[in-house]
Chains A and B, each alone.
Chain A
Amino acid sequence: METALNIGPQHPSTHGVLRMKTIIDGEIVKKCEPDVGYIHRGLEKIAENRMYFKFTPVANKIDYLAAAAWEHCYISCVEQVLDMDVPERVKWARMLMLELQRIVSHLFWIGTLCMDIGQPTVFVWAMREREKFLDIFEEVMGGRMTYGWMIIGGLRDDITPSQVTMMWHALEEVEKRLPEYYRMTEKNHIFKKRLQGIGVITKEEAIAYGLTGAVARASGVPYDVRKDDPYLKYEEVEWEMITREAGDCWARYEVKRDEIYQSISIAKQAIKKLPNGPFRLKNAATLRPPTALSLKTPENGEAFVRNECPRGEGCIYLRTDGSNFPYRLRIRGPSFNNLCILDHVCRGATIPDVVAILATLDPVFGECDR
């Protein structure tokens, strides 16, 4: 007997406010339609009514679990339209923080995945390691979740040597701790059983649905903006793109797991190579109030920036009309596109599988609903 079951919007495993309109037959899911938009805040419209520097805190809240990634996405977009070339130190420092942010986001993701398939211990451990990084963010960027550290043309504050030491210790620590997690997850054959062969996305489907990030790479699509369209200093550090062919939940888990190690490696290289020099452009100060009130942008200027956010490819398109306000700002969040395939992969799965699939697709609804 088929029956409708509303999962969400208030449900422990929907990671925020997703409503899944599911049709179930016993435990088998016949249809699973995601219903998004519960925290739509009209961010794109908000951008049109704010001066450029005033949108930075809002850009942080696009994806509240990886705020630095979106902060950089927005700031670099404005810099591109103003045709600014930031100093070398700024590029390295930004890349360093972006990778730390990626580690934090992936840690959170491993925790919630384990929580969803019934293992709260790893969640609490992941929070423990994340805490070290949040302390660093507070020290360096001035906030634990949202920052406002990057300004148009540079950074608000420089990174001090003691902060670099802190980062190094935190990276060493998380590298040491991660095998403990895997003792709880990979060494447990139930974990493998719950993920292997579940929610398979083929390469063709991944391309057709416009999936990006770890979800696409797990399906064998070798696409990573950091490799394909390098920004900052990703060309000058050594790292490899992680891909898997299987396309199931297990492959997505493996990709993100290995990406943590890659991020640690990139961050360590960035720390070693962090050059001395100015941490903002000379005229960057003029982009902050009160002089920012008279900021001139090009008539009919436009810029398009894409970054590899922890959840996939995040894009911002900006159009200017010469005034102090953006004419149009368009945000493309990876969560929204990744979520589109939910119905397709959930058909025929059981309710516990839907939870695992949703956890490995890793949507964040701030960014999905915008």
Chain B
Amino acid sequence: MIFMNDFFQFVYAKVATLPFGDVLFLFIMGTILFNITLIYGFTGYIEMKLIGHIHSRKGPVYTGPLGILQPIADALKVLQKEVIFPHGFDRFLFTLPLFLLTIPNFLAIIFIPVGSFIVFQSDYSLLIALGLLSMSPIAILLGSWASNSKYSTLGGLRSAGMTMSYEVLLGVAIASVIVTTGSMDIVKIVEYQAAHGLWFAVMQPFAFLLFLVGTIAAVERNPFDLVEAESELVSGWRTEYGGVYFLVTLIAEYIKLFVVLLLFTSLFLGGWMDFAGDVGFFVKVLVLTLLMVYIRATAIRLRLDQILAKVWHKYIPLGILNFIITLGVLEVLG
């Protein structure tokens, strides 16, 4: 990863002097995004295999060695499908979510450290990253409305309802971390953890747990998968999305999962300034991925009103209490 860092700095130094240098660099970043598409393959494979074993099945076995190519094969299969547009849909708003789902999530990587590789360090990187990550509910709402389908619309409205809960939850959880560190720069947060030799997961256990819940809600997986609740809304907001449109929404989901887990690792698990450096960073991301898959395989879907009640009656007051206690402790310690 140190090598990667040098590589990208080298590329940027070369490219920045050229005309449209920044655009070119973004293009090169696009190639990295291609790698992230591979992340979809990897995360998807882990998910299929682990859930398979939890189900006492074998998971994919035929496609490639140990079935490792199964997500790619699925993607290729979906690509061959005809895209069927629903009757009376809004073409512009139907297509817009595909960009709104992918681009902000990709852009968020610029502000979130991937291991020790940091594209853009800013004093407000955490705020910007969170802002970019919270674009997807808007995209979902737009897409569901444009689909002109009742199942889609219900899914979109659920997504909007969920946003009201988990965005606040994430904010409250992070607030404690920010006041402790005194900075909204993710790098500084990581450095703070390294300087004190303690993860924020240990220093701020409540914030850690709340952020974990918020993360699962943000990526809309079990038990918060009611946006696409298969047994209720067929396929939720993406009922009418087919073919390549569906594939983009699917990949966007995995990319968001990955990006959120990168953020999670940096904020609460000490980032890369810990054991084994960058390798350790990705080990942590992998462990978090496995945790997400495990939760998906064992959790039962909540109802929207249950989520709202739980978050607003329990988690957010707890988060605010945690915030106040943090402020008090900081005041006492000076």
Contact = CB atoms under 8 A, between A and B. Distances in A.
A and B form one complex: yes
Contacts of B298: 119, 121, 184, 188
B235 to A, nearest CB: 9
Contacts of B158: 27
A76 to B, nearest CB: 37
A261 B300 CA distance: 24
B299 to A, nearest CB: 7
A124 B300 contact: no
Contacts of B225: 118
Provide the main secondary structure of the chain A interface.
Answer: helix
B55 A117 contact: no
B303 to A, nearest CB: 5
Contact of B301 (A26, A128, A352): A352
A46 B90 CA distance: 50
Provide the main secondary structure of the chain B interface.
Answer: helix
A351 interface: yes
B226 interface: yes
A239 interface: no
Interface string B256-285: 000000000000000000000000000000
Interface in B292-310: 297-306
A116 B231 contact: yes
Contacts of B56: 124-125, 128
Interface in A163-199: 184-185, 188, 190-191, 193-194
B150 interface: yes
Contacts of B234: 11-12
Interface string A106-140: 00000000111111110011001000000000000
A355 interface: yes
A121 B297 contact: yes
Contacts of B55: 120-121, 124-125
B229 interface: yes
Given A3-B150, A124-B57, A351 B302 contact: no
Nearest to B304: A27
B6 interface: no
A122 to B, nearest CB: 9
B74 interface: no
Contact of B226 (A114, A352, A353): A352
Contact of B223 (A26, A116, A190, A350): A190
B161 to A, nearest CB: 9
Contacts of A191: 300
Nearest to B297: A121
B302 A190 contact: yes
Nearest to A353: B303
Nearest to B301: A118
Contacts of A194: 300-303, 306
Contacts of A3: 150
A118 B231 contact: yes
Interface in B228-248: 229-234
A315 B54 CA distance: 41
B318 interface: no
A219 interface: no
Contact of A350 (B51, B231, B301, B305): B305
B222 interface: yes
A124 to B, nearest CB: 4
Contact of A117 (B150, B157, B300, B304): B300
A119 B225 CA distance: 11
Contacts of B203: none
What are the 4 tightest A-B residue pairs by CB atom distance, in nearest-first order? A118-B301, A124-B55, A13-B231, A190-B300
Interface of B: 51, 54-57, 150-151, 154, 157-158, 222-223, 225-226, 229-234, 297-306
11 contacts: A5-B150, A27-B158, A27-B304, A117-B301, A118-B231, A121-B55, A125-B56, A190-B301, A191-B300, A353-B303, A355-B232
